[in-house]
Amino acid sequence: MTVKPSLSPELPTDLDKNRLPQHVAVIMDGNGRWAKSRGLPRIMGHQRGVDALKDLLRCCGEWGIPALTAYAFSTENWGRPLEEVEFLMTLFERVLQRELEEMMQENVKIRFIGNLAALPESLRREIAKSQAETSKNSGIQFTVAANYGGREEIVQACQAIARQVQQGLVSPEAIDESLFAQYLYTAGIPNPDLLIRSSGEMRISNFLLWQMAYAEIYVTDTLWPDFDRVQFHRALKDYQGRHRRFGKL
Ligand code: FPP
């Protein structure tokens, strides 16, 4: 008989609470395939994907992982059919409206990263509202990457620093890794320790390129809507079995 891992709010006993990743990032891939395999429209996969993300956020809070970042929409995703892009934008807006109260109750602090200026205005309003209302919360840091591209993030940081240099506010010699990181969208958020990608693709897909330098990467064949605590437990177990060397011996 196989024993099903614990699904309770408690951290499974075979995980070491002192060696949990302090920041988990997720590439939520496979929503479309999940829907297709059930004869459903792709958008149903995204809807179920939100449920999986919501449970993961709650799980991180319960198990003591202080930061979660989710890749919701990349700068490349605009190339999808207009209908799907519009659905996703409306979905983000609706989820923010629907979940704000619960995020407040659960002390979640939400932040969006990416080129937000290009998002629909009504979505930008909901983003601003949810960020402002949760800004004083001290629980889990939940970061959502929307219209996010890692290369674009680095380029905009370079532009911002170049402007500072041009104005004489920063000297070129003062530019080091820590100064550079302050100009990224993720300023103030620690780098991810663990990247989880669902649906089997072995790619980073332009996600957190700078921040991911020493992240452990875990890829599962599970499609995102099926990613649950059992899967998360497996990812954490795998993570704790690794020897992180950060380039040293
Ligand atoms: C990738 O699956 C998934 C997306 C592009 C969208 C993910 C977004 C959510 C789950 C909503 C999150 C909402 C908030 C507010 C944070 P895919 O469509 O590429 O799947 P496929 O590879 O099977 O086609």
pLDDT one digit per residue (tens) for the chain, 249 residues: 344 444 678 999 999 999 999 999 999 999 999 999 999 999 999 999 999 999 999 999 999 999 999 999 999 999 999 999 999 999 999 999 999 999 999 999 999 999 999 999 999 999 999 999 999 999 999 999 999 999 999 999 999 999 999 999 999 999 999 999 999 999 999 999 999 999 999 999 999 999 999 999 999 999 999 999 999 999 999 999 998 788 887
Q: Is the Cβ–Cβ distance between 143 and 111 less than 8 Å?
A: yes
Residue 42 annotated as binding site: yes
Question: Whose C-alpha lies nearest to ligand 1, atom 6?
Answer: 72
- State the closest ligand 1 atom to the C-alpha of 36, by its place in the atom list counted from 1: 23
State if residue 28 touches ligand 1 by the CB under 6 angstroms criterion.
yes
Q: Which of 31, 68, 84, 199 to mutate to test the pocket of ligand 1 (most atoms within 8 A of CB)?
A: 31
Domain ranges in the chain with CATH number 3.40.1180.10? 19-147+189-239
Residue 224 annotated as binding site: no
Rounded distance between C-alpha atoms, residue 96 and residue 71, angstroms: 15
Q: Is the pTM of this model over 0.75?
A: yes
State if residue 94 touches ligand 1 by the CB under 6 angstroms criterion.
no
Question: Whose C-alpha lies nearest to ligand 1, atom 1?
Answer: 29
Beta-bridged to residue 145, according to DSSP, are 71, 113
Per CATH, the homologous superfamily of domain 19-147+189-239 is Decaprenyl diphosphate synthase-like (3.40.1180.10)
